[in-house]
């Protein structure tokens, strides 16, 4: 196949990224997939290159992805993971993601796709949504041919870590599913991954925000 693409992914070990990575590796339109990780994953594939990095110094990886085609950002943490430390949360969910986006712009990547969250708003009274909104605002100022922002609702899937609050939320949604508007219902992380994979195939230029309900409608699973 001519015009094969090269992709870079951050967040490959997370709920969405771990579903997206095999999709990219199995897609014949990609000849190379680079993932930036803190610790190498137990995955081997002829297309895959794993780069162990310090995410605070991600800008130094420019030579690795110079003139790549597509970038996927599935990076994120939780307040529980950082023991309620807002500074540590901000570092991952804003600083690392913003620096990755900045790196991608400087490297000439023209197609940028990122996961934020439903309700992302830089003026939100909720810290989590405010940080996500600030990140979106930063990305809007960068120069890409195409940007896709995905705003899923509560993510469903098998996590490595136990999240009591999310488990309770999932149970609540299951019990009262009939009363919950579609846009607020939980969504499988694999669906978000598939939506990102499909969007990366779209050559349409512009800035697109894909809400949770739309993610479900476009994946056709």
Q: What is the pLDDT of residue 77?
A: 86
Low-confidence ranges of the chain (pLDDT < 50): 1, 163, 166, 170, 172-173, 176, 178, 221
Whether the model clears a pTM of 0.75, i.e. scores above it, the answer is yes
**Dist. CA 177–CA 164, nearest whole Å:** 19
- Answer for the pair 90, 138: CB distance below 8 angstroms, yes or no: no
Residue pLDDT, tens place only, 29-56: 999 999 999 999 999 999 999 999 999 9
Number of domains the chain contains: 1
Structure tokens belonging to residue 186 = 């939980």
Quick one: CA dihedral 126, 131, 136, 140, positive or negative?
positive
pLDDT digits (tens, 9 = 90+) for 155-189: 998 755 554 554 555 454 455 454 555 666 789 99
Run of H or E including 142 = none
Coil, helix or strand at residue 5: strand
Contacts of 157 (CB under 8 A, 6+ apart): 15, 19, 188, 189, 190
pLDDT of residue 96: 97
Q: What was the pLDDT predicted at 217?
A: 87
pLDDT of residue 203: 87
Distance in angstroms (rounded) separating the CA atoms of residues 193 and 74: 9
Provide CB contacts within 8 A for 212, sequence distance 6+.
118, 151, 152, 153, 183, 184, 185, 187
Domain containing residue 215: 5-219
CATH number where 71 lies: 3.40.50.720
* Cα-based torsion angle of the residue sequence 117, 119, 125, 131 in order, rounded to the nearest 10 degrees: 30
Among 80, 61, 57, 70, residue whose Cα is nearest residue 31: 70
The Cα–Cα gap between 190 and 155 comes to: 9
pLDDT for residue 185: 79
pLDDT at residue 178, as a whole number = 46
């Amino acid at each position: 196949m001519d015009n094969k693409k090269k992709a870079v992914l951050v967040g490959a070990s997370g709920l969405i990224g771990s579903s997206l990575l095999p999709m990219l590796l199995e897609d014949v339109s990609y000849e190379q997939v680079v993932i930036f990780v803190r610790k190498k994953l137990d995955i081997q594939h002829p297309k895959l290159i794993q780069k162990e990095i310090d995410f605070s110094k991600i800008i130094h990886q420019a030579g690795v992805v110079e003139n790549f085609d597509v970038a996927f950002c599935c990076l994120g943490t939780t307040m529980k993971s950082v023991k309620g430390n807002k500074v540590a949360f901000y570092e991952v969910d804003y600083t690392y993601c913003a620096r990755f986006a900045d790196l991608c712009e400087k490297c000439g990547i023209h197609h940028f796709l990122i996961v934020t969250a439903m309700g992302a708003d830089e003026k939100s009274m909720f810290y989590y949504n405010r940080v996500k909104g600030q990140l979106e605002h930063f990305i809007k100022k960068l120069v890409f041919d195409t940007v896709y922002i995905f705003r899923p609702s509560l993510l469903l899937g098998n996590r490595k870590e136990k999240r009591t609050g999310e488990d309770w939320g999932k149970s609540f949604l299951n019990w009262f599913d009939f009363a919950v508007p579609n846009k607020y219902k939980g969504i499988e992380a694999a669906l978000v991954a598939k939506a990102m994979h499909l969007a990366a195939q779209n050559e349409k230029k512009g800035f697109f925000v894909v809400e949770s309900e739309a993610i479900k409608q476009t994946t056709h699973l």
